[in-house]
Amino acid sequence: MHHNNAFEPIVVADIGGTNARFALVTDFDESTMKFKIEQSQTYPSANYSSLESVLTQYLEFVSSFAPKYACLAVAGPIKGESVRLTNLGWNFVVSDIKREFGFEKLSVINDFAAFAYASPYLDKNDNVQIKNGVSAEKNNIAVIGPGTGFGAAALVINNGQQAVLSCEAGHISLAAVTPLQISLLAELKAEFDHVSVETVFSGIGLTRLYKAMALVNKVDAENLDPAHITQKALDGSCDICMKTLAEFCSWLGCVAGDLALTFGARGGVFIGGGILPRMQQVLLESHFADNFNKKGIMTNFVQDIPVTLVVQDNIPLIGAAACIVNQ
């Protein structure tokens, strides 16, 4: 597909519990590293009983392009050929879909694999640099995301070949580094059998961290959801909420640095997910970068790694296109 002949259009999709967003990638500009994304359509997932029904509707919409390639990014686990989107009740087998719709190439990847595939194509100007550094060319890239859960993946580059490593890094044990973190972890451990990264670095995790912060500060916690904690921290009306948000961002620096070491991510770290963009200022003012760098004899390794907060919204579509183009 890299030859000088015409770019073959690729059907790309971002399929989540609420919406199924489809588009057509019709070109790639090598000089700007940008895909041309057009013919975008969003369908409410709940209106469709199966992947087949929504895919049929989109393929009718773009029938004049006669696309032969497709890649679907789905929010959910993929086990071999079979994909189950539990909250939608959609189950399908990749090879069946490929045959039924006559695709030459069809890939189905999860949303974090898509984020990893997309990472080399993200525009610095569209996103926020939260730690300066210089990405080493042709080196591994790590992507992480505190959201509903905590997702992570890596784009692994070796001898000019690349592959995406999917993993369960959200479930590694959360390490405490500073005296405050040690106190917070003790409170969390009193309640949870296993305190993982996801226990704290997720939507519900923000509430858990707030409760632990109240206990450490010997203050009664209110019954607050993550949105309220964020709001009260940003408007300065709750001291414990402010401390919680600052620590959420600071402690994430330790975790991101650990994952950068784990994946050998000298090509950079990208952070996505729905939580951090709302607290961008707090993140920039936090100890994120210092904590990312505090890795003892490996400080030199991590201090050069740039960290980017991804705020652009078409990541899964870019990742789906990159997955097909790089096959």
pLDDT at 205 over 60: yes
pLDDT tens-place string over residues 280-326: 999 999 999 999 999 999 999 999 999 999 999 899 999 999 999 98
DSSP letter string over 7-39?
A: PPPEEEEEE-SSEEEEEEEEEEETTTTEEEEEE
Rg (CA), the chain: 21
What is the band of 5 on the pLDDT scale with cuts at 50, 70, 90? low
Q: Is residue 131 part of a domain?
A: no
Whether the CB-CB separation of 86 and 76 falls below 8 Å is answered with yes
Same structural domain, 239 and 323: no
Same structural domain, 269 and 317: no
What is the band of 199 on the pLDDT scale with cuts at 50, 70, 90? very high
Q: Is residue 255 part of a domain?
A: yes
Whether the CB-CB separation of 310 and 270 falls below 8 Å is answered with yes
If you average pLDDT over residues 197-204, what whole number do you get?
96
DSSP state for residue 65 in the 8-state scheme: G
Same structural domain, 69 and 180: no
What's the token pair of residue 172? 């590694």
Same structural domain, 305 and 316: no
Q: Give CA–CA dist 62/205, Å, rounded.
A: 42
Non-local CB neighbours of 12 within 8 Å, separated by 6+ positions:
22, 23, 24, 25, 37, 70, 71, 72, 73, 316, 317, 320, 321
Please list the residues that pair with 166 across neighbouring strands: 153
Q: Is residue 151 part of a domain?
A: no
Q: What is the CATH number of the domain that holds 181?
A: 3.40.367.20
Walk across the sheet containing 141-146 and list its strands.
128-131, 307-309, 269-271, 141-146, 150-158, 161-166
User: What is the pLDDT at residue 4?
Assistant: 44
Taking the model in full, what pTM does it have? 0.93
Enclosing domain of residue 217: 169-309
Whether the CB-CB separation of 15 and 8 falls below 8 Å is answered with no
Give the number of domains in the chain.
Answer: 2
Q: Is residue 130 part of a domain?
A: no
